[in-house]
Amino acid sequence: GENVEQHPSTLSVQEGDSAVIKCTYSDSASNYFPWYKQELGKRPQLIIDIRSNVGEKKDQRIAVTLNKTAKHFSLHITETQPEDSAVYFCAASIRGNQFYFGTGTSLTVIP
Amino acid sequence: NAGVTQTPKFRVLKTGQSMTLLCAQDMNHEYMYWYRQDPGMGLRLIHYSVGEGTTAKGEVPDGYNVSRLKKQNFLLGLESAAPSQTSVYFCASSSLAGGVNEQYFGPGTRLTVT
């Protein structure tokens, strides 16, 4: 099956700096790559996603890039704010049936 | 529009007891999923369903059973609970309408098995 690896497991940045989280996947059949934000005690919520026919997608301060050849995708958060502090998960989906998640990155934005 | 709801929110079981977790969605989604979340492990797929009356195994199905008798409900059963099943369980639903498969998660059920 698919194997998704996520790095780093923890990340601390100063407010206003950028944060980058990277994921790799193993199955070239994966074609949908969502990113979720999970605050403590809450449910995961989708923040951005990208499909395999697109190389980059941006939504305000958040962007995702995908390199199909290298089988990796990254989340970029610019101008970080304290409310960005949370655990972020990447995932890969094959045909939309099954989702495989990374192990999460705990992001702390220091005011 | 409640989205995805889960019942119960918390439960404590003794080893060997059984229970059923209920997931309900009111978005007419075809796909439904059950995940477990353990510290440092991310979310792992237990079982999923692509439509009423159909179920399939995910990454970690052992010790669990599921049923999807109605499109809006997806039940997760533990026949004989074990301490290793202590976890937070999340249900999710999604639709492929429009070619997008965004998952919507329920609030989670925290299960402790002693």
Find the CB nearest B90 among A43, A93, A103: A43
Determine the pLDDT at residue B2.
79
Kindly tell me the sign of the dihedral angle through the C-alpha atoms of A18, A24, A29, A32: negative
Asked if pLDDT for residue B100 goes beyond 70, the answer is no
Give the Cα separation of A93 and A51 in Å (integer): 10
Asked if pLDDT for residue B105 goes beyond 70, the answer is yes
B13-45 pLDDT, tens per residue?
Answer: 999 999 999 999 999 999 999 999 998 788 999
Helices (H) and strands (E) in chain A, counts: 0, 11
Q: Chain-wide mean pLDDT for chain A?
A: 94
Give the Cα separation of A23 and B68 in Å (integer): 33
Of residues B101 and A38, the one with the higher pLDDT is: A38
Asked if pLDDT for residue A96 goes beyond 80, the answer is no
Confidence of residue B99 (pLDDT cuts 50, 70, 90): low
Q: Is A10 exposed, middle or buried (0-12, 13-18, 19+ CB in 10 A)?
A: exposed
B19/A contact by beta carbon, under 8 A: no
Can you tell me the mean pLDDT for B68-77? Answer: 97
Asked if pLDDT for residue B3 goes beyond 90, the answer is yes
Contacts of B42 in chain A (CB under 8 A): 6, 89, 101-104
| Inter-chain CB proximity A43 and B50 less than 8 Å | no
* Cβ under 8 Å to A: B residues 32-51: 33, 35, 40-45, 48, 50
Q: Which residues contact B100 (CB under 8 A, 6 or more apart)?
A: none
Contacts of B35 in chain A (CB under 8 A): 101
A46-94 pLDDT, tens per residue?
Answer: 999 998 888 999 999 999 999 999 999 999 999 999 999 999 999 999 8
Determine the pLDDT at residue B98.
65
- Half-sphere CA count of A9, side-chain side, radius 13 A: 5
Give the Cα separation of B35 and B109 in Å (integer): 10
Determine the pLDDT at residue B73.
97
B5/A contact by beta carbon, under 8 A: no
Which amino acid would we find at residue B87?
S
Asked if pLDDT for residue A39 goes beyond 90, the answer is yes
Supply the Cα-derived Rg of chain A in whole angstroms: 13
| Inter-chain CB proximity A104 and B58 less than 8 Å | no
Most B-contacting residue of A10, A46, A99, A105 (CB-CB within 10 A), to test interface = A99
Can you tell me the mean pLDDT for B47-53? Answer: 94
Those residues of chain A whose CB sits closer than 8 Å to some CB in chain B are 1, 6, 9, 32, 34, 42-46, 49, 89, 91, 93, 96-104
